[in-house]
């Protein structure tokens, strides 16, 4: 229920190697600085890239976060497709899918 802060923590992680180091050591401590609900916290920690997509995280923020988490391109795209099948369409934001099939 706090998409703004969910995107904010990912935005700050994506651009700050120092914060990335802290996050790798203690995820909960970093996430405590943001107003997040349980579902969001778990999705970031896991990471559940597909669920983050469904929650409405801007695709550009999520793409960079997936790369930070070591996702290859096909695995990242597949995570979003699997989540669409599991959860239904994106709940908020600009990155609502069209048909989810894409071209690749």
Q: Which residues bind other proteins (CB under 8 A)?
A: 4, 7-8, 11, 14-15, 58-64, 67-68, 70, 73, 77, 80-81, 84, 94-95, 97-104
Nearest partner of 16 among 53, 55, 65, 63, judged by Cα: 65
Task: Provide, rounded to whole angstroms, the least separation between the CB of residue 62 and other proteins.
Answer: 6
Q: Would you say 46 or 100 has its CB closer to other proteins?
A: 100
Task: Provide, rounded to whole angstroms, the least separation between the CB of residue 33 and other proteins.
Answer: 14
Distance CA 37, CA 14 (A): 20
Task: Provide, rounded to whole angstroms, the least separation between the CB of residue 54 and other proteins.
Answer: 11
CA distances for 76 relative to 24, 35, 70, 97, angstroms: 20, 26, 9, 15
Q: Would you say 44 or 62 has its CB closer to other proteins?
A: 62
Length of the chain (residues): 104
């Amino acid at each position: 229920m706090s998409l703004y802060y969910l995107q904010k923590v990912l935005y700050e992680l994506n651009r700050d190697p120092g914060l990335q180091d802290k996050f790798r050591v203690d995820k909960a401590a970093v996430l405590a600085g943001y107003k997040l609900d349980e579902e969001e916290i778990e999705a970031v920690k896991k990471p559940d890239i597909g669920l983050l997509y469904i929650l409405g995280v801007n695709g550009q923020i999520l793409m960079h976060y997936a790369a930070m988490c070591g996702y290859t391109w096909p695995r990242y795209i597949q995570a979003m497709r699997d989540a669409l099948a599991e959860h239904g369409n994106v709940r908020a934001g600009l990155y609502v899918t069209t048909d989810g099939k894409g071209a690749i």
